[in-house]
A and B are shown apart, each in its own frame.
Chain A
Amino acid sequence: MNALTVVRAGALTTVQDLGRPGHAHLGVPRSGALDEPAHRLANRLVGNPVEHATLETTLSGCAVRADAAVTVAVTGAPCAVRAGGRPVAWGAPVRVPAGAVLEVGAATAGLRSYVAFAGGVAVPPVLGSRSRDLLSGLGPEPLSDGARLPLGAPSGASAGVDAVPCGALPLGELVLPVVPGPRADWFAPEAVGVLAGGGFRVSSASNRIGLRVDGPGLPRARGGELPSEGLVRGAVQVPPDGRPVVFLADHPTTGGYPVIGVVPGPFLPGAAQSRPGTPIRFVARRG
C-alpha cells in the first residue's frame, strides 16, 4: 500500500473530507473541508470520488513524499507546486514519481490549498469521516514532520484538463450576505444597520471553528444568554463583546449567545479563504 511521509507539515495541515454530518445531536461538529468546492475539484482532477480525503493546508503549504508514484492535484489557494524540485502545474493532475518530494508552496492568495492524491488519504475514519475536527479533537492529528499517512488504491482515471477556475478567493473584499434570524430580536434596531454599515475586517483569531470579525460591536437589545440552542454552519453569533463570529465547519453544535443571522453556505468557502485584515461587507438578505 502506498503511503506518504510528511517532509514539512506547514503551519496547520489537516486531513479533510466532506465531514461527519448527522451526529450534531451527540455534540459532534460536522467538520470537513472549509473550501468544499476546492476539495471536490481536487478529488475530481485525480479521478477520486469527492468523498475521498485530501490535505487542507493553511497559508504556508506543506511537503510530502510518496513511497510509490502517485497522481496529485492542488486546488484552493493558488501556490507554487514542485515535484522532485521541478515546477509543476497548480490546478491540474500531476504525476509525482516514487520518492520525489511534492512541495506545496505558500499561498499567493487566499489561505487554504487542497492536495488530492489518487486513492485518497486513507487514515481510519471516525464516525464515517477522516476529517480532523479541531474543536472536539476527532479524526487524525494535524500533520507533523515525519508522520506517515496511508494512501488508498486509485480507482478512476485522472481528468484531462488544462486549467481550472480559481474558485472562492475574494477579490479585495469579502461580501457576506446575511439572512436575518433566528435571534435578530435580541439586538437593538440599529444593529442590522451597523452590520451593513461596514468597517469590518477578518480577524487574525479566525480558525476552522469560525471567522472572527474585527469592527464595530453590534448593540444588543437585551443582555444575558439564551438557553443553549442548536447552531448551523454560517450562523453569525454575537458574544457579549458584540464582535460577530461566522461559524465554519468545526463550530460547536449548541451555544447560548444570540445568532443575528446566517450566511448562506455557498459564501462560506470565500470566508474560509479570506486572510486576516480582509475587509468584510455584510449585506442583509431576505430568507
Chain B
Amino acid sequence: MSAACGNGIQRVLPVGRHALLVEVATTEEAQALHAELLRRRDAGALPPVREIVPAARTVLLDGLADPRGLAAALPRWDIPPVAAADAPLVVLPVRYDGADLAEVATLWGVSEDEVARVHSGIEFRVAFCGFAPGFGYLTGLPERLHVPRRATPRTSVPAGAVGLAGPYTGVYPRSSPGGWQIVGRTDAALWDPEREPAALLAPGTRVRFEERGRRA
C-alpha cells in the first residue's frame, strides 16, 4: 500500500502479523486519523483492535485479527480534518517560574513575562502520549517558538513541570529524569490511575495554560 490516497494516508505498513502502522504527512493528519478511528470504533464500525496508538506522523493499530483486510480498506476512508472545538478542553493553571524560563526567553528573543503571556495564549492539542504514563506531547507552538532540548538532561524534573522541546510542550506527570526546557509548574494531577481516564491529557484533548503568577 503506498502513496497518496486522497485522505492523507501515505502508506500502510504491516508490523508483524497482527498490527499496522499507518503513515501520514503531518501531526494534524495523524490526529485526524486517530479521531476517525475512535469514531469508527465507538460506532462499532472498526474490527476489534487492542491498541490504537497515535504518534507524530503515524497511528499504530495493534492486535488485529486481519490486518490485511483493514490495510486494503483504509485508503478508501473519508478522514475529515480535526475541527477546532470538537474535543474536551483542559485548562492548567501554571506558575511560570521554571528553571529554564530565562533560557527560553533568550531563545524566543522576548522577556520572561512575554514567555508566560505567549505560552498561556496558545491553544494546544495532545498529539500523542509516550515517555511515561500520562505524558502528553502537545502541539500548537508556531515553528519560530520551537526550542532544542537541554544539552544535558536533568536527572530529576519535578511532577507538574511544564516544559518545551522541539515542536512540543508538555507536563511531567511525575518526577523523572528529563531534557525538556522547564518554564513553569502546575499543581494539576496529570496522572491518576483511580480516575477515568487516568491521563488528564489523553490524545485529542485541547489544552490551555493559565498564568498563575511568575515567582513563588
A contacts, CB < 8 Å to B: 21-28, 30, 126-127, 136, 138, 179, 181-182, 227-232, 234-235, 252-255, 259, 261-265, 287
Contact = CB atoms under 8 A, between A and B. Distances in A.
Q: Which of A22, A136, A138 has the most CB of B within 10 A?
A: A136
Interface stretch (B45-53, B84-92, B95-103, B179-187): B45-53
A264 B17 contact: yes
B55 A262 contact: no
Interface residues of B, number: 36
Contact of B50 (A22, A26, A252): A22
A23 B132 CA distance: 12
Interface of B: 13-19, 21, 50-60, 62-63, 128-135, 137, 193, 197-199, 202-203
Contacts of A261: 16
Nearest to A136: B133
Q: Which of A27, A253, A259, A265 has the most CB of B within 10 A?
A: A27
A16 B55 CA distance: 28
B59 A230 contact: yes
Contacts of A255: 130
Interface residues of A, dominant DSSP: loop
A127 B198 contact: yes
Nearest to A254: B130
Given A126-B193, A138-B133, A232-B18, 14 more contacts: A21-B50, A21-B63, A25-B54, A25-B129, A138-B193, A179-B16, A181-B13, A182-B14, A228-B128, A230-B58, A230-B62, A235-B15, A235-B16, A254-B131
Given A181-B13, A235-B15, A24 B53 contact: yes
B128 A179 contact: no
Nearest to A263: B16
B51 A21 contact: yes
Contacts of A231: 60
A1 B62 CA distance: 39
A286 to B, nearest CB: 10
B53 A230 contact: yes
Given A26-B133, A228-B130, A253 B53 contact: yes
A230 B55 contact: yes
Contacts of A179: 14, 16-17
A228 to B, nearest CB: 5
A145 B51 CA distance: 37
Nearest to A259: B15
A252 B13 CA distance: 20
Nearest to B130: A254
